[in-house]
Amino acid sequence: MPIALITGSSGFIGQHVLAQFPAFGWTAIGLARNPNKCRPEVLRNGSQVVQDPGNYDGFCDLLHELHPDVIIHLATRYIKDHKPSDIPDLIRSNIAYGAELLEAMRSCGVQRLVIAGTTWQHHLVDDEQYVPSNFYAATKQAFEDLVRWYVDACGFSAIALRLTDTYGPDDPRRKLFTLLQEAAQSGEPLRMSPGEQLLDPLFVDDAVAAFAVAAHRILQVDHRFEIYRVTPGQPRKLRDIVTLWCQITGKTPTIMWGGVPYREREVMRPWTGGKVLPGWKPAVSLEEGIRRCWKQQT
Amino acid sequence: MPIALITGSSGFIGQHVLAQFPAFGWTAIGLARNPNKCRPEVLRNGSQVVQDPGNYDGFCDLLHELHPDVIIHLATRYIKDHKPSDIPDLIRSNIAYGAELLEAMRSCGVQRLVIAGTTWQHHLVDDEQYVPSNFYAATKQAFEDLVRWYVDACGFSAIALRLTDTYGPDDPRRKLFTLLQEAAQSGEPLRMSPGEQLLDPLFVDDAVAAFAVAAHRILQVDHRFEIYRVTPGQPRKLRDIVTLWCQITGKTPTIMWGGVPYREREVMRPWTGGKVLPGWKPAVSLEEGIRRCWKQQT
């Protein structure tokens, strides 16, 4: 079986990739700064997780030892609205870390790479052009510019996926469904924006499937840098998603719609530009996804 | 007079900008990690150089104190062919440093910026597309991706200049004319590539004039990111440039043409894509530029 080396494997998507990649025909080896953060069930299928060295020399040792066929680069620092003090860590995690990894790949002859980007690299909805919604998205684009050199000058092949917001069981991030559940439990009203923005949430299993499709594809693609959109293509208003969640869970949190204004530079419609990853389509509807999240929590 | 704050002001171009910007109607204040590196004559016209804090808090203090109208961001780490050990410093100097500066500008309401890029961001000669000639050029492009967010989301105005190779008096970098002089002096043969590549060297005073034109322009341009080529547009073969140098200086270094192969990914023709900076044209011919370099050295 081909070997996939996965960075950021103790993160939300990373753990699901580790857990599910063997079923897609891969030997999966994860890197994590703290391997103990991985839930034990993630490793039941034979996947491993090892200490992330985080620097060029350490990456070289690992690549020489493991001979991975593909790197799935998921390690990232995600901050929707950054503060000045976040800048050094955003640069280090989203650019510098990956640059050391790329350079180690070059030195060790490992040349195939799948990276995770965000639809927020395209604030103009219908356009392929780079216009970042936030600084986080800008760091993703900046890293891709470094990748470009390794593809053009060093014979690498790379696929960058542009993912929309992901959700699923075991998400440690405080996102919509968690907030709704907390509000239902506490009885405290939840202040939200007016809620007219369209969202297109991606269930984590569908995200994992996209990485598997991209990993297989990159084995056959030589010396190219391909960029694909990974979105379900079923945008709905935030308000309607909340209504759906309430129907499925039977919970009735108190929502104060318009209790906070839209964020500056709120994304009102999800990106529809670019090309969808060939061979991938979403398998989990929003209804089913919410059900699975809820079932896992109760 | 408007105030220009210049990063990297102890570098080759930076010192010439400090020395000449007052003549273009600017108060020039330079930042340098080591202000003593600036030659004393650079500061004779009233320009100042201060300690570069190199981080967000320090930049904020300076911007609050100085209220610059424009930042001329020249600080850079230039490495034509990098080694793995160069990666951290290239990321730090060419991306992370500038990110802290951008964030301080955002916090302090300083929104006008001119940055120095390279024609090597366009390895495909006739095209506007980003295709980096080397990793250094990739870091320049990556930084521009960050700038893009500050322009689109924070109301900044920026001009990025794409400069071709610069030359001039007081260049501490070991480049062509220095090597020729050393070879003439030592009598040792100088091994060079076959020498058929076309170069379009930019005299440093013409580079300074381009920054002055861009600095004036950015005072009048709102909320835009403009990118311009700054090249003399007089490409000549390396061999012919060496012949010209020998004619002007009367020196006869021994050149072994083809003594070394072309570099991997040698740039054989200078970039001709994009738009030339409006209002700028080169004033110093290559003949005159070589004469001035030579005169200053003898």
Give the mean pLDDT of chain A.
96
CATH class of the domain whose range is B176-199+234-270+283-297:
alpha beta
For chain B, the residues whose C-beta falls within 8 A of a C-beta of chain A are 56, 84-85, 87-88, 90-92, 95-96, 99-100, 103-104, 106-107, 123, 130-135, 137-139, 141-143, 145-146, 148-149, 152-153, 264-265
Closest CA in chain B for residue A141: B145
pLDDT number for residue B128 = 86
Q: Which of B91, B100, B264 sits opposite A87 (nearest CB)?
A: B100
Q: By percentage, how much of chain A surpasses pLDDT 90?
A: 94
| Residue of A103, A134, A144, A149 to mutate for B, most B C-beta atoms under 10 A | A149
pLDDT number for residue B177 = 94
Q: Which of B90, B95, B149 sits opposite A91 (nearest CB)?
A: B95
| Residue of A145, A152, A223, A263 to mutate for B, most B C-beta atoms under 10 A | A145
Please tell us whether the domain made up of A3-166+201-230 is placed in CATH 3.40.50.720: yes
Provide, as residue numbers in chain B, all residues whose Cβ is less than 8 Å from the Cβ of A134. Answer: 149, 153
pLDDT number for residue B57 = 98
pLDDT number for residue A30 = 98
User: Would the CATH topology of B3-167+201-230 be identical to that of B176-199+234-270+283-297?
Assistant: no
| Residue of B135, B150, B225, B267 to mutate for A, most A C-beta atoms under 10 A | B135
Two structure tokens written together for B259: 């003594």
pLDDT number for residue B172 = 86
Q: Are A267 and A137 in contact (CB under 8 A)?
A: no
Provide, as residue numbers in chain B, all residues whose Cβ is less than 8 Å from the Cβ of A99. Answer: 87, 90-91
pLDDT number for residue A124 = 86
pLDDT number for residue A127 = 82
Cα(A259)–Cα(A120) distance, integer angstroms: 25
DSSP structural state of residue A131: B
Would the CB atoms of A146 and B149 count as touching at under 8 Å? no
Closest CA in chain B for residue A153: B265
For B118-136, the pLDDT digits (tens) are 999 999 877 889 999 999 9
Local confidence band at B193 (pLDDT 50, 70, 90 cut-offs): very high
Provide, as residue numbers in chain B, all residues whose Cβ is less than 8 Å from the Cβ of A152. Answer: 123, 131-132
Would you identify the CATH topology of the domain A176-199+234-270+284-297?
A: UDP-galactose 4-epimerase; domain 1 (3.90.25)
pLDDT number for residue B296 = 84
Which sequence spans correspond to the domains of chain B?
A: 3-167+201-230, 176-199+234-270+283-297
pLDDT number for residue B137 = 98
Over residues B203-230, the mean pLDDT reads 97
HEC per residue, B87-135: HHHHHHHHHHHHHHHHHHHHHHCCCEEEEEEEHHHECCCCCCCCECCCH
Provide, as residue numbers in chain A, all residues whose Cβ is less than 8 Å from the Cβ of B146. Answer: 135, 138-139, 142
Tell me: pLDDT of B298 over 80.
no
pLDDT number for residue B271 = 93
Provide, as residue numbers in chain A, all residues whose Cβ is less than 8 Å from the Cβ of B88. Answer: 96, 100
Q: Are A121 and A136 in contact (CB under 8 A)?
A: no
Would the CB atoms of B265 and A153 count as touching at under 8 Å? yes
Residues 6 or more apart whose CB falls under 8 angstroms from that of B98 comprise: B73, B75, B115, B143, B146, B147
Give the mean pLDDT of chain B.
96
Q: Are B130 and B198 in contact (CB under 8 A)?
A: no
Q: Which of A92, A99, A148 sits opposite B132 (nearest CB)?
A: A148
Please tell us whether the domain made up of B3-167+201-230 is placed in CATH 3.40.50.720: yes
Two structure tokens written together for A272: 């529809």
Give the Cβ contact number of residue A256 at 10 Å: 11
Would the CB atoms of B152 and A123 count as touching at under 8 Å? yes
Strands B225-230 and B3-7: unpaired
pLDDT number for residue B126 = 79
Q: State how far residue B240 is from chain A, nearest Cα, in angstroms.
A: 28
pLDDT number for residue B70 = 98
For A97-108, the pLDDT digits (tens) are 999 999 999 999
pLDDT number for residue B170 = 87
Q: By percentage, how much of chain B surpasses pLDDT 70?
A: 100
pLDDT number for residue A193 = 97
Would the CB atoms of B142 and A104 count as touching at under 8 Å? no
Closest CA in chain B for residue A123: B152
Over residues B174-184, the mean pLDDT reads 93
For chain A, the residues whose C-beta falls within 8 A of a C-beta of chain B are 56, 84-85, 87-88, 90-92, 95-96, 99-100, 103-104, 106-107, 123, 130-135, 137-139, 141-143, 145-146, 148-149, 152-153, 264-265
- Give the lowest-confidence range in A25-34, A167-176, B209-218: A167-176
Q: What is the ipTM of this complex?
A: 0.96
Confirm whether pTM is higher than 0.90: yes
- A94, amino acid identity: N
Q: Which of A100, A130, A133 sits opposite B87 (nearest CB)?
A: A100
Tell me: pLDDT of B84 over 80.
yes
Local confidence band at A297 (pLDDT 50, 70, 90 cut-offs): confident
Local confidence band at A74 (pLDDT 50, 70, 90 cut-offs): very high
For A196-212, the pLDDT digits (tens) are 999 999 999 999 999 99
Which has the closest alpha carbon to B99: A90, A147, A123, A137?
A90
Q: State how far residue B216 is from chain A, nearest Cα, in angstroms.
A: 26
For B22-46, the pLDDT digits (tens) are 999 999 999 999 999 999 999 999 9
Q: Where are the alpha helices (DSSP H) in B187-235?
A: 204-220
Burial of B27 (C-beta count, 10 Å sphere; 0-12/13-18/19+): middle
Two structure tokens written together for A41: 């069930």
pLDDT number for residue B142 = 98
pLDDT number for residue B124 = 86
Tell me: pLDDT of A298 over 80.
no
Q: By percentage, how much of chain B surpasses pLDDT 90?
A: 94
- B195, amino acid identity: G
| Residue of A59, A85, A90, A91 to mutate for B, most B C-beta atoms under 10 A | A91
